[in-house]
């Protein structure tokens, strides 16, 4: 990194301009890791928004038994099928030596087809078209890389330095072109294009020659150490022409294969429905269970975000912790859920269950663990008593949740009012006895 900073200073760039050039103008949010196991297909949406040609993508590698095998990088080329998140790319270095051997010898850097999965790679059901001999690599964890982040990674350091020098040179040329327009004579002086035999400047070049030279200097393929040249040479070794021919043949036969698949799926679906009425249940609760195990709190966060939309809670998106603390599940229950589904229709047991869960979750989000456990334990006792007695007449008094009806009168005030009314009744009865 220090070498790149010195290189940028030699080119006349400030530290801020060096960092801007090495980061390719991208914010840190654009370089975050994305995982296919997240709910809502966020990884595929991010790929549609962020992917650009020749950008470098780093991904989690797997072996044939779906065990993690380091990381690798791919230079993006183009979308093969945007809707299904299939793209082509030129493979670069890998952190694992065995995986690097597999890429170079078995697969070939230009013979790969890559898929951004919306689930764990091992569970992805997308397959290649019949007859496609390219290697399909499923990617369920990825992020975009820049020279600024590559130099901090041991296996990407050399590549990061090469791409960083290219980015700095481009930034220096852009800066000098903004300072002095071509044709004024100052651009040659700034670039050091003086006559070596004397101090005078060389003769001005023709406008057409300068324009061609400028286009060549800004060509993305300039520099022997660029990512594209490095990968393109390896692609040529593996036979790039064969891959292009396969792509053409594949595109020509796509329509016919899709029509055959539609006919086959319509007939097979009827046969399956008649022959079998059972489906294999997903292991241990399916995708939601795996999400809860992999990212505790993710399901709660998604539910709170949805409640915020209904309750129009105006909280800054960045302050997640404050947003969680400010949420009130009981508010959603009373303002949205009970309005949509009246208590008279859902029944007493369901109503009490919803109230218990809402109060407990509010306690947990506020950090009141003891109050939450008390609420749940009393609910457990009430359920047990209802089984013994066969009704909820006495069991409901064990629970410590707010009353079903909304009122400002507290239970102590209600008790005092009842006692006062009882005294008045007793006084009336005694006065009647005296008068008689």
List the pLDDT tens digit at each of the 436 positions of the chain.
778 878 888 888 888 888 888 888 777 777 888 888 776 678 888 888 888 888 889 999 998 888 999 999 988 888 888 888 999 888 888 898 888 888 887 666 566 889 999 888 888 888 888 888 888 899 999 999 888 888 888 898 888 888 888 888 888 888 887 765 544 443 444 444 444 444 433 444 455 555 555 554 444 434 444 555 655 565 565 555 555 666 666 777 776 777 666 665 555 554 444 433 334 334 444 567 667 777 787 778 777 777 776 665 444 444 444 555 555 788 888 888 888 888 888 887 888 889 899 889 888 888 888 888 999 999 999 889 988 888 878 888 888 887 666 667 777 788 888 899 999 999 988 888 888 7
Of 145, 172, 190, which one is at a domain's C-terminal end? Answer: 145
The answer as to whether 311 is a domain residue is yes
The answer as to whether 104 is a domain residue is yes
381 with 436, same domain: the answer is no
Reported pTM: 0.44
332 with 428, same domain: the answer is no
Nearest of 372, 376, 394 to residue 385 by alpha carbon: 394
41 with 127, same domain: the answer is yes
378 with 414, same domain: the answer is no
61 with 111, same domain: the answer is yes
The answer as to whether 240 is a domain residue is no
302 with 390, same domain: the answer is yes
Nearest of 220, 247, 192 to residue 24 by alpha carbon: 220
State how many domains the chain has.
3
Give residue 415's domain range.
Answer: 410-436
For 19-35, give one letter per residue: b (16+ CB within 10 A) or e.
ebbbbbebeeeebeebb
The answer as to whether 369 is a domain residue is yes
391 with 308, same domain: the answer is yes
**Which whole-number Å values give the CA distances from 388 to 238, 393, 400, 401, in the listed order?**
76, 12, 20, 21
329 with 419, same domain: the answer is no
Please state, in angstroms and rounded to a whole number, the distance separating the CA atoms of residues 352 and 399: 9
The answer as to whether 222 is a domain residue is no
48 with 107, same domain: the answer is yes
Of 98, 116, 145, which one is at a domain's C-terminal end? Answer: 145
- Identify the residue whose tokens are 């903004």: 178
The answer as to whether 299 is a domain residue is yes
The answer as to whether 34 is a domain residue is yes
Of 145, 178, 206, which one is at a domain's C-terminal end? Answer: 145
Q: What are phi and psi of 145, to 5 degrees?
A: -115, 155
298 with 388, same domain: the answer is yes
The answer as to whether 176 is a domain residue is no
3-state SS class at 45:
helix
């Amino acid at each position: 990194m220090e070498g790149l900073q010195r290189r940028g200073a030699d080119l006349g760039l400030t530290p801020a301009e060096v960092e801007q050039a090495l980061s390719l103008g991208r914010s840190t949010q654009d370089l975050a890791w994305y995982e296919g196991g997240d709910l809502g297909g966020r990884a595929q949406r991010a790929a549609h928004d962020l992917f650009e040609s020749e950008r470098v993508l780093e991904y989690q590698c797997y072996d044939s038994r779906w065990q993690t095998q380091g990381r690798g990088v791919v230079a993006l080329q183009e979308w093969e099928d945007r809707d299904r998140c299939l793209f082509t790319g030129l493979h670069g270095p890998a952190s694992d030596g065995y995986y690097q051997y597999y890429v170079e010898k078995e697969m070939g850097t230009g013979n790969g087809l890559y898929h951004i999965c919306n689930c764990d790679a091992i569970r992805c059901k997308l397959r290649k078209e019949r007859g496609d001999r390219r290697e399909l690599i499923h990617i369920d964890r990825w992020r975009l890389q820049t020279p600024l982040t590559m130099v901090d990674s041991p296996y990407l350091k050399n590549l990061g330095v090469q791409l960083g020098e290219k980015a700095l040179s481009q930034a220096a040329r852009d800066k000098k072109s903004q300072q002095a327009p071509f044709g004024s004579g100052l651009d040659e002086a700034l670039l050091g294009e003086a006559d070596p035999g004397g101090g005078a400047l060389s003769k001005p070049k023709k406008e057409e020659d300068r324009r061609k030279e400028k286009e060549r200097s800004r060509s993305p393929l300039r520099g022997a150490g660029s990512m594209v040249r490095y990968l393109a040479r390896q692609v040529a070794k593996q036979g790039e022409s064969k891959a292009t021919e396969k792509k053409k043949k594949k595109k020509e036969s796509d329509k016919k294969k899709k029509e055959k698949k539609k006919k086959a799926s319509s007939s097979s679906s009827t046969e399956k429905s008649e022959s079998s009425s059972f489906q294999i249940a997903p292991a241990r609760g399916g995708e939601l269970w795996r999400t809860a195990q992999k990212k505790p709190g993710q399901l709660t966060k998604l539910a709170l975000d949805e409640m915020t939309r209904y309750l129009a809670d105006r909280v800054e998106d960045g302050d997640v912790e404050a947003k969680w603390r400010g949420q009130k599940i009981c508010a959603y229950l009373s303002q949205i859920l009970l309005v949509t589904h009246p208590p008279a229709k859902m029944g007493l047991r369901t109503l009490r269950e919803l109230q218990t869960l809402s109060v407990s979750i509010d306690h947990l989000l506020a950090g009141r663990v003891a109050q939450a456990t008390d609420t749940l334990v009393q609910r457990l006792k009430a359920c047990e008593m209802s089984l013994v007695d066969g009704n909820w007449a006495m069991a409901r008094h064990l629970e410590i949740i707010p009353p079903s009806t909304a009122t400002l009168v507290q239970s102590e005030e209600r008790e005092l009012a009842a006692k006062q009314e009882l005294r008045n009744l007793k006084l009336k009865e005694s006065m009647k006895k005296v008068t008689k």
